[in-house]
Chains A and B, each alone.
Chain A
Amino acid sequence: GEDVEQSLFLSVREGDSSVINCTYTDSSSTYLYWYKQEPGAGLQLLTYIFSNMDMKQDQRLTVLLNKKDKHLSLRIADTQTGDSAIYFCAEITGGGNKLTFGTGTQLKVEL
């Protein structure tokens, strides 16, 4: 199956920016997504980007897409302790009916 890759851990100081990276595999993916999972909870959709865009900004979140390299990133500005969670990227596969998720990046925000 497809592999969507992410680094497993990221640690930042409160107030700094966090950048979470993802490499996806399906060049025909029309949408790419970022989800957040807090402890003991399900996944919550954070943001998404359409494949014809290079960048999308939503308040403290900035998504960058490099289609040539199949690279997606999520930047969180002014990272807060409440941002500590696991972040998953996901791409559309299976003709538009399924999402394939990355392994998740555990973000730890230190005071």
Chain B
Amino acid sequence: DAGITQSPRHKVTETGTPVTLRCHQTENHRYMYWYRQDPGHGLRLIHYSYGVKDTDKGEVSDGYSVSRSKTEDFLLTLESATSSQTSVYFCAITGSGANYGYTFGSGTRLTVV
């Protein structure tokens, strides 16, 4: 998707290891979000950011932390990966709050073995 990239696109990791996913935007948008997508659950919000160093928890934040040291990057860290964190992770951005909808990245498929 134009203006937003996620890395890596795929990752396999072992239980107990830390993992960091990166979301990078070139739109200078204020708001950035991390969601996870699981069958039967749709998308669930993990954490979001409303500015540099300003973050807040979503509905499924346990086991995850985030950091935003500059406008363009929003990092999601799984502190000690578990099998329940196997999922597809999506980053999204918006400029002026959710009223204008989100632009989504292409996703990161994470498998924890």
Footprint of B on A, CB under 8 Å? 1, 4, 6, 8, 30-31, 33, 40-45, 48, 88, 92, 94, 96-104
4 additional contacts, CB 8 Å, given A42-B107, A43-B102? A31-B99, A48-B101, A92-B99, A100-B45
Provide the bound-state CA to CA distance between A103 and B50, in Å. 25
Residues of chain B with a CB closer than 8 A to A1's CB: 59
B98 touches A88 (CB 8 A): no
> Assuming A1-B59, A97-B31, A97-B48, is B106 touching A33 (CB within 8 A)?
no
Report which residue of B42, B50, B58, B102 has the largest number of chain A beta carbons within 10 angstroms of its beta carbon: B42
A88 touches B43 (CB 8 A): yes
Provide the bound-state CA to CA distance between A102 and B42, in Å. 6
6 residue pairs of the A-B complex, CB under 8 angstroms, read: A43-B102, A88-B42, A94-B98, A97-B98, A98-B45, A103-B41
Provide the bound-state CA to CA distance between A104 and B40, in Å. 8
Residues of chain B with a CB closer than 8 A to A94's CB: 98
Residues of chain A with a CB closer than 8 A to B42's CB: 4, 6, 88, 101-104
B90 touches A96 (CB 8 A): no
Task: Return the chain A residue nearest B60 by Cβ.
Answer: A1
Q: Tell me the residues in window 65-104 of chain B with beta carbons closer than 8 Å to chain A beta carbons.
A: 90, 92, 97-99, 101-104
Residues of chain A with a CB closer than 8 A to B1's CB: 42
> Assuming A43-B90, A102-B42, A103-B41, is B105 touching A97 (CB within 8 A)?
no
Provide the bound-state CA to CA distance between A19 and B46, in Å. 30
Instruction: Tell me the smallest distance from the CB of B31 to a CB of chain A, in Å.
Output: 7
Instruction: Tell me the smallest distance from the CB of B110 to a CB of chain A, in Å.
Output: 15
Task: Return the chain A residue nearest B90 by Cβ.
Answer: A42
Task: Return the chain A residue nearest B43 by Cβ.
Answer: A101
